[in-house]
Amino acid sequence: MKYDEALKLVQPPDEKAMQQCAKRWDSIAKPLHSLGKLEAGIIQLAGIGGSSQVRLDRKALVIMCADNGVVSEGVTQSTSEITAIVSENFLDRKSCACIMAAQAGAEVFPVDIGIGRDTRLPKDKKIAYGTKNMLQEPAMTREQAVRAIEAGINTAFELKEKGYHILATGEMGIGNTTTSSAVAAVLLDLPVEAVTGKGAGLSEDGLKRKIDVIRRSIEKHKPDKNDPIDVLSKVGGFDIAGIVGLFLGGAAAKLPVVIDGFISGVAALLALRIEPKVKAYMMPSHQSKENAGKLLLDALGLEPYLTCDMCLGEGTGAIALFPLLDMGLAVYSQMSTFEQIEIEAYQPL
């Protein structure tokens, strides 16, 4: 599906289904609204799916995998080769995210959208063998950025057609906290140092170099903060673009999409700036420990379900939301109403 076609399909969630869901919650024999965000989450899912009969039995974690040319500037502790190794580990279900996904009853779908070499992952969504070095030239062309977004859109529709009810977003790409910090600095109109952290473990000198590289890249290419595609193409990454597509495609296909941490949050903000209606289909999971974690959620106007000081990425925070939603849905679906147990219902005060 093309980018423009997907945007035309994004509509507000079903208000009637949300009202029916809220009415069901209020009829359950417990104090009103006492499960807080768990109730709100199920109501949101009802609106997205267009039915008060909410289903979550098929869950997917999509991990967008890509390399970033800016790694050659010494902004990371690891080399780009790690991207390919970890991406193949996803296939073998050996990663942290995969172990958590198995525990949460979710299937894992790693996507090669721009790994620097060929791997055992399919190449049908690969845009290029990594982005360019954004300090020297734009990370990608505008056309590549749109193609990467479309890869994410199509992934969302493919999973919807396969019967999945909710998507979690993840990423793998050495150097992607550098690109995400660059995008965040532009979109939030903040100094680079305010949104840049040590990523997977930089020294103080390494952090200074990372900040300097990001600042000079922004100064050189002058990305337009009012044009999300321009920002993405000049200082972003293919993994970020793919996740943008997951948010847009999820909204177009009427699928809830869970925001992970910093990198996923950057993609969510790009998607929101492209089409504000997608916000109703986004579900925040946790507040990343990365510098810009809270700043991004504030910009999105969302509050996290979890605050666990996590910053691993790969979708680990997004996956951690699934058991909470399952518990909320179990209460919503199984608990008796006030009428059924013949006691007086709580009344709003």
Catalytic residue numbers, as ranges: 314
Instruction: Extract the runs of DSSP E, i.e. beta strands, from 51-197.
Output: 59-66, 106-114, 166-172
Q: Which residue has the tokens 């979890």?
A: 306
| Residues 214/76, Cβ–Cβ less than 8 Å | no
The alpha carbon of residue 232 and the mean position of all alpha carbons in its chain are separated, in whole angstroms, by 15
Torsion of CA 263, 268, 270, 271, to 10 degrees: 140
First CA to last CA distance, the chain: 49
d(CA 6, CA 62): 19
Which residues, 6+ apart, have CB-to-CB distance to 310 below 8 Å? 261, 286, 288, 289, 316, 317, 320
DSSP string, 264-322: HHHHHHHHHHH-GGGGGGEEE-B--SSTTHHHHHHHHT---SB-------TTHHHHHHH
**Residue of 190, 167, 115 whose CA lies nearest to 271:** 167
Under a CB-based contact definition with an 8 Å cutoff, are residues 299 and 315 in contact? no
Residues 6+ apart with CB under 8 A from 253: 9, 156, 157, 160
